[in-house]
Structure 1
Amino acid sequence: MSTVSANASVMDGIYRHQRHIYDLTRRYYLLGRNDLIAALKPPSGGSVLEIGSGTARNLILTAKRYPDAELFGIDISAEMLKSADAMIARHGLADRITLAQADATRFEPADLFGVTGFDRVFFSYSLSMIPGWETALRQAMQVLAPGGELHLVDFGQQTALPGWFGKGLRAWLARFHVTPRESLDTTMALIAAEHHAELSFSTLYRDYARIGCIRLPSA
């Protein structure tokens, strides 16, 4: 079995049943997602890609906040895509949101969507579930259009929270193959420098979460 197929099987195993209650439960601890969506601000008629789109919760909110944007999403889990398709149809957004099954570390947007570059790309609590997360970040940069922005929010290291809380959270997250990325800030800084791009990065809720953005220079 290939690495891609193995990763897809793992995610399908996790979400085969969880996908039905995912949004109800995650709303209480996936903090900062709405902050990310508010910061996207794509240009009028711009294109937005979510990597690890899950149930499409974020894409639906993005579509409603930015009615002129074109929305795209990829996820490695076929099970999650079932829920996402149903959610998108329920909200009447099938004409604005396009999904595809793909591996975040290697995908061709032209083949999947007929799009060569996106004005905005974002990860929302998906990077901590991608084994090759550094590769996924670099892949995301490759599909950004000139002047585009890469946004992300994910778990922090809980540095300003009680030690017992951080230890318990990480142990619980590990049950779902979630690993907060300790070097997220330094990796993003390195990638931004490689692209002569601007980086903004900060912590949220006493480092419960981390949120960042890399802005490419215009052509």
Structure 2
Amino acid sequence: MDGIYKHQRYIYNATRKYYLLGRDRLLDELQPADGSTILELGCGTGRNLIQAARRYPRARFVGLDISHAMLETARASIARAGLSSRIEVHQADATAFDLSVLCGQAQVGRVFISYTLSMIPPWRQVLPQALQAAGPGGRLHIVDFGQQEGWPRWFKAALFAWLRRFSVYPRAELEPTLAVLARDSGAALDFRRLYRGYADYAVLTKPV
């Protein structure tokens, strides 16, 4: 990941805002309780964490990313935004992390994953880790590229070919995989296809 984003990190936010659709909807729907903690897996440049911290001034934020280069950019951006006291970021693998070691608490109120599963080859391993990090009554929010069901075939082919250049692979099995996870964990699943299938958006709510 450092190899991919060593240089891209400097223009990442400016370029991705045009096609990473649904991110702001996810942030709007987090709605954490005052004093709670929100975790982002694959926090990248810190853009989502900064936006969320501004929306929810009474919450604490933690971001994990495997890329050292991206975390350098994230820490600098967070500091410039004056949010270092409320946002912390750590280098960690989203498929295997110990949240209690990283930030001092085993579970949080909200966990979210934004356009990250499509970049992680063992993406299925991320999901139970992410859900486990949400405490009782907590929620896991996910947004990522969908299968473009409502778009012309040429659009899907062109988009997927372009994404492959950056090692991004939309996950066609996301919904059934989440359905199994919800069944096995007792969580409730809300799965939506946004923008005619351009993006998939899912919320898993754990029982109290």
- RMSD between aligned alpha carbons? 0.6
Matched, 1:107 2:80: no
Q: Deviations over 1:48-91 (max 9, x none)?
A: 00000001100001101011111000000001001100100000
In structure 2, what is the Cα distance between the partners aligned to 1:139 and 1:168?
33
2:39 match: 49
Matched, 1:91 2:81: yes
In structure 2, what is the Cα distance between the partners aligned to 1:78 and 1:18?
13
Q: Name the TM-score, length of structure 2 as normaliser.
A: 0.99
1:159 match: 149
Identity %: 53
What are the ranges of 5 or more consecutive residues in structure 1 without an aligned counterpart? Answer: 1-10
2:62 match: 72
By how many angstroms is 1:93 displaced? Answer: 0.3
In structure 1, what is the Cα distance between the partners aligned to 2:143 and 2:134?
18
Q: Deviations over 1:144-168 (max 9, x none)?
A: 1111100010000001100000011
Q: 1:62 aligns with which of 47, 52, 55?
A: 52
By how many angstroms is 1:199 displaced? Answer: 0.7
In structure 1, what is the Cα distance between the partners aligned to 2:178 and 2:44?
23
Letter in 2 for 1:208: Y
The equivalences for 1:1-219 within 5 A come to 11-218=1-208
Give the secondary-structure state (helix, strand or coil) at the position aligned to 1:119. strand
Which deviates further from its counterpart, 74-83 or 139-148? Answer: 139-148
Matched positions, count:
208
Letter in 1 for 2:25: D
Q: Name the TM-score, length of structure 1 as normaliser.
A: 0.94
In structure 2, what is the Cα distance between the partners aligned to 1:25 and 1:124?
16
Q: Deviations over 1:95-139 (max 9, x none)?
A: 000100000000001111111101100000011111111110111
By how many angstroms is 1:143 displaced? Answer: 1.3
By how many angstroms is 1:142 displaced? Answer: 1.4
In structure 1, what is the Cα distance between the partners aligned to 2:121 and 2:92?
14
In structure 2, what is the Cα distance between the partners aligned to 1:32 and 1:143?
23
Letter in 2 for 1:35: R
Letter in 2 for 1:32: G
What are the ranges of 5 or more consecutive residues in structure 2 without an aligned counterpart? Answer: none
Runs of 4+ in 1 over 4 A off after TM superposition: none
